[in-house]
Homo-oligomer: A and B are copies of this chain.
Amino acid sequence: MTATLELLLVGFGHVARRFVTLLDEQRGTLSRKYGLTIRIVGVATRHGRLILPTGLEPSAVTDRFTHFLATVPAHREMRTTPELIADVAKRRPATRDGRLVVVETTTLDIKEGQPAIDHVRAALSNGAHVVTVNKGPAAFAYHTLDKAAEKAGRRFLFEGAVMDGVPIFNLVRETLPAVTILGFRGVVNTTTNYIITEMELGEAFEEALRAMQVAGIAEADPSLDVDGWDAAAKTAALANVLLEGRITPQTVEREGIGASTAVRAREARTRKRRLKLVARAARVRGGVQAGVALEELDESDVLANLEGQQNALVLHTDLLGEIAIVQRGSGLTQTAYALLSDLLTIGTGVTGRTLDGRSRS
């Protein structure tokens, strides 16, 4: 069976733009292997909203949206973004048969989880699937949104929220059936890991931070990275999904890094140890205990050798002991791929194929 998925892009920054070029690059695979065609039916950002009733090829969207912003006079849009999502979902016949997907990539308020949470809720309650790279929804409202998705018979997927496109949530959900995750520890924030590594080599805090900002990796507000908020949000998302936690980033014990971290990092190195900002959580009686803290690790620890932009997560499981998954490269393509892999989970659900492109027996 083949199908056309319709995408409503909510947010259209670097990640979304790379996502549409990736869709274009993967067009042959999508069609041949998965029987899927992709049409973009709308783009909604702070700067303007473009609705495309007949749909557009992914390859044509960026130019079309740029042209739209440049030529159409700004006018007062009365609807909120959730209202717009609801309107589009109600109008498109694709919604009924589960072929409308909201692709959520807006700028996130890590401390509140908004506006992403409202966007996810509006999508699900109006019959659209959601794929997002935002941590907020899973970090603040996972169980509510997951229930909303189940009730609607739609998917709420967010592989890109942690470690870009390297499978974490999908790893546990799709390849570790019947396994209970007891806890995890990991290095999940790239900016702080890069800064600590550079400081070990003698670089100053401010310089290393600036390099991450120039590279477009650090959050616009650096405190979100260096004060541990990003790591805390990822910890909450992981704990809520993998450990059945009911926590938020605010309830994660949190430590950050600063200029004074340099001394500790260099001292640790002289003792053949490495200082890392480690995210941890574990199931405890009646809930989950979660924290982000600087830890000195033995050099042989899989987390100790993560240089610069590498991330890793060690899962502590009941049946398999410890499993670690390591991301050794990161960037826009990896983040955009997270959206693609989630989209394929939805698409193969529609066409009745498996993720390796076969018919479900």
Query: Which of B328, B337, B349 is in CB contact (< 8 Å) with A360?
Result: B349
**Contact mask for chain A residues 328-361; partner B; CB cutoff 8 A; 1 contact, 0 none:** 1111011001001100110011000011101011
What's the minimum C-beta distance from A21 to chain B, rounded to whole angstroms?
12
Contact call A175/B178, Cβ cutoff below 8 A: no
Minimum C-beta distance from A352 to chain B (A): 9
Would you give the shortest CB distance from A312 to chain B, in whole angstroms? 8
* The one of B150, B314, B326, B329 that contacts A302, using a Cβ cutoff of 8 Å: B326
B34, B300, B325, B360: the one contacting A323 at CB < 8 Å is: B325
Inter-chain contact A178/B33, CB cutoff 8 Å: yes
- Contact present for B324 and A329 (CB under 8 Å): no
From A171, A177, A325, A348, name the one whose CB has the most chain B CB atoms within 10 angstroms. Answer: A177
B178 & A170 in contact (Cβ 8 Å cutoff): no
A348–B326 CA distance with the chains assembled, in angstroms = 29
The answer to whether residues A302 and B300 also contact, given A154-B361, A171-B175, A322-B328 and a CB cut-off of 8 A, is no
Whether B302 lies near A305 (C-beta < 8 A) is yes
Inter-chain contact A341/B177, CB cutoff 8 Å? yes
Residues in chain B near residue A327, CB distance under 8 A: 320-321, 323
The oligomer's copy count stands at: 2
Docked-complex contact B302 and A302, CB < 8 angstroms? yes
Pick from B312, B322, B355: contact of A177, CB under 8 Å:
B355
A167 B178 Cβ-Cβ under 8 A: no
Known interface pairs A171-B171, A175-B171, A355-B177; A321-B329 also in contact (CB < 8 Å): yes
- CB-CB under 8 A from A251, the residues of chain B are none
A221 on interface, CB distance cutoff 8 Å: no
Check: A56 CB closer than 8 A to any chain B CB: no
- Answer whether residue A299 sits at the interface, using C-beta atoms and an 8 A cutoff: yes
Q: Is the CB of B329 within 8 A of A326?
A: no
Q: Is A98 an interface residue (CB 8 A)?
A: yes
Q: Are A165 and B307 in touch, CB under 8 angstroms?
A: no
Q: Does A174 have its Cβ within 8 Å of any Cβ on chain B?
A: yes
Interface 1/0 per residue, A310-321 and B, CB below 8 Å: 001010000111
Contact: B319 with A328, CB < 8 Å? no
The residues of B that contact A176 with a CB separation of less than 8 Å are: 167, 341
Given contacts A167-B176, A323-B325, A326-B326, 18 further A-B contacts (CB under 8 A): A26-B178, A33-B178, A34-B177, A150-B358, A154-B361, A165-B319, A165-B320, A166-B320, A173-B355, A302-B305, A320-B329, A320-B333, A320-B334, A322-B328, A322-B329, A323-B326, A323-B327, A324-B325
